[in-house]
């Protein structure tokens, strides 16, 4: 028992040291990026100030024709889509110079190890804890390419391919009935030996941006994290058969774990006030090679 607890203590220490190192690196990157943007802003301010203060209209018109219009257009926010095509109702927005700079938390956080440490220790000491999740966890959206089990705990990709095989690689998505906006929540999803799947959290589409965060495995691509529209490949030394998903609404943080040994795979943060639901995709059918279900085993 003492040996086990000492080992667990060392693991937590190493995790804390890694979190500290990552946080310092992020702060350094943010500082460098902020200084770069400030210098760029001062340079643009100087250009505009010198142009506007000129008393030579011909010179201003020449600058505007040759450089000014393009200079100002580059500063505008490009919107991907609009709710309507009424150009008159659209307002001009300019890019934020600090939009991509994120605030680094002023305290270290261990995710699931901080709020559910007792659960993790019990699980590792006992080898497993078998608990049946509530019925009807997964919402049946009646997608013909998706089948939810009668108990609402599993989801499977049907063999349907669509007309002219247009949807043979279609990856349907299912979500939980509930959305979560406060507290901490944890699920485990059994992915087994499947070669194509995705698990994560769905936040819908807000301000024309997809707010979903997910861990994906594609048979021809490998593992990757998709945060909104950003895709990041990750290299996993061990292929997990069960994925732990931790949603901390109070800290606006999402964590993915290899639930077989509780190894942290990835951590993401998201803007506050977004209600999230658990989202699952059994992946493409792949001619029956990926027909096994995804099953929620903890909730």
Task: For residues 176 and 135, give the distance between their C-alpha atoms in angstroms, rounded to a whole number.
Answer: 11
Of the spans 30-34, 40-44, 85-89, 152-156, which averages the highest pLDDT? 152-156
Residue by residue, what is the 3-state secondary structure of 220-272? CCEEEEEECCEEEECCCCCCCCEEEEEEECCCCEEEEEECCCCEEEEEEECCC
With bands split at pLDDT 50, 70 and 90, how would you rate the model's confidence at 4? low
User: Mean pLDDT across the stretch 144-170?
Assistant: 82
- Calculate the average pLDDT of the chain: 79
pLDDT for 225-243, tens place per residue? 999 888 999 998 889 999 9
With bands split at pLDDT 50, 70 and 90, how would you rate the model's confidence at 159? confident
Task: For residues 189 and 137, give the distance between their C-alpha atoms in angstroms, rounded to a whole number.
Answer: 12
Do 140 and 76 share a structural domain? no
Q: Are 267 and 246 in contact (CB under 8 A)?
A: no
Do 284 and 157 share a structural domain? yes
**pLDDT: is 244 or 75 the higher one?**
244
**pLDDT of res. 3:** 66
Question: Which of the 8 DSSP states describes residue 172?
Answer: -
Q: Are 254 and 264 in contact (CB under 8 A)?
A: no
> Which of 221, 153, 196 is closest to 292 using CA atoms?
196
Do 7 and 71 share a structural domain? yes
Q: Are 247 and 184 in contact (CB under 8 A)?
A: yes
Distances (CA, A) of 131 to 118, 128, 187, 262: 16, 9, 12, 17
**pLDDT: is 125 or 55 the higher one?**
55
**pLDDT of res. 161:** 72
**pLDDT of res. 295:** 94
Spell 38-56 as b/e; 16+ CB within 10 A means b.
eeeeeeeeeeeeeeeeeee
Residue 99 lies in a domain: no
Q: In sequence order, which residues have a C-beta less than 8 Å from that of residue 68 and are 6 or more positions away?
A: 51, 60
Residue with tokens 């709020």: 115
Query: How many domains would you assign to the chain?
Result: 2
pLDDT for 190-214, tens place per residue? 999 999 999 999 876 444 456 789 9
The total of other beta-carbon atoms located within 10 Å of residue 182's CB is 8
Q: Which of the listed residues 39, 69, 89 is the one where a domain comes to its end? A: 89
Q: Are 186 and 245 in contact (CB under 8 A)?
A: yes
**pLDDT of res. 208:** 45
Q: By residue range, what is the domain housing residue 38?
A: 2-89
Do 43 and 172 share a structural domain? no
pLDDT for 6-57, tens place per residue? 776 787 778 778 878 888 888 888 888 888 888 888 888 888 888 787 777 8
At residue 211, what are phi and psi to the nearest 5 degrees? Answer: -105, 15
Q: Where residue 177 sits, what CATH number does that domain have?
A: 2.60.120.920
């Amino acid at each position: 028992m003492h040996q086990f607890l000492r080992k667990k203590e060392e693991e937590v220490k190493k995790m804390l040291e890694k979190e500290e190192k990552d946080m310092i690196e992020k702060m350094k990157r943010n500082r460098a990026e902020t200084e770069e943007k400030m210098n760029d802003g001062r340079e643009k301010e100087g250009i505009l100030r010198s142009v506007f203060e000129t008393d030579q209209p011909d010179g201003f018109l020449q600058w505007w024709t040759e450089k000014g219009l393009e200079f100002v257009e580059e500063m505008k926010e490009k919107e991907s889509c609009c709710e309507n095509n009424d150009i008159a109702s659209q307002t001009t927005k300019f890019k934020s110079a600090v939009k991509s700079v994120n605030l680094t938390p002023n305290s270290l956080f261990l995710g699931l190890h901080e709020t559910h440490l007792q659960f993790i220790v019990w699980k590792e000491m006992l080898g497993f804890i078998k608990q049946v999740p509530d019925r009807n966890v997964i919402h049946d959206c009646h997608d013909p390419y998706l089948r939810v089990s009668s108990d609402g705990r599993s989801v499977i990709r049907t063999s349907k391919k669509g007309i002219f095989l247009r949807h043979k690689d279609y990856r349907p998505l299912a979500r939980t009935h509930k959305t979560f906006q406060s507290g901490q929540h944890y699920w485990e999803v059994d992915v087994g030996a499947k070669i194509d799947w995705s698990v994560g959290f769905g936040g819908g589409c807000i301000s024309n941006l997809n707010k979903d965060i997910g861990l994906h495995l594609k048979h021809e691509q490998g593992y990757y994290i998709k945060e909104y529209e950003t895709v990041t490949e990750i290299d996993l030394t061990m292929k997990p058969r069960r994925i732990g998903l931790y949603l901390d609404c109070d800290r606006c943080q999402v964590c993915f774990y290899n639930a077989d040994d509780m190894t942290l795979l990835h951590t993401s943060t998201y803007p506050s006030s977004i209600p999230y639901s658990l989202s699952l995709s059994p992946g493409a059918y792949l001619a029956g090679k990926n027909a096994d279900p995804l099953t929620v085993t903890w909730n």
